[in-house]
Structure 1
Amino acid sequence: MHVAAALFDPTVAPPSQFSVFNALGGSKELFVLTTGHFDYPRRIREERQLRAAPRIFFAPR
């Protein structure tokens, strides 16, 4: 499971996001965003990194 959680989010409280991740079992990876559901200067760069992360997570090893 690949999860993105934000340090700041006006829509979904960050502690709830991280709690959900912590409660998940099995193989998982966390991608931490600076902000969720809000525009900020690094948003485009972080979204590109987020879209690339599952390819890395699911790549054959």
Structure 2
Amino acid sequence: MNRPGKEEVMKKLQNKNPYNVEIEKVIHITTRAGDGSDENRVRLVEHYYDKNGHLLFETE
């Protein structure tokens, strides 16, 4: 996965004129999902939790 650099992120944020930006620590877990069939291909799922273990969001 290619992640954007700090400068690229800052440029995007400047264009959106954010009210507040903070850096927060999260727990990031990557798991595999799917059984490999055409209907359910194997893929990576990203899970993000706060430091108290509450799921924030998932992406596939």
Q: TM-score, normalised by structure 2?
A: 0.29
Question: When you count helix as a share of all residues, which structure comes out higher?
Answer: 1
In our comparison, the structure showing a higher alpha carbon Rg is 2
Question: When you count strand as a share of all residues, which structure comes out higher?
Answer: 2
Q: TM-score, normalised by structure 1?
A: 0.29
Higher relative contact order (CA 8 A, sep 6+): 1
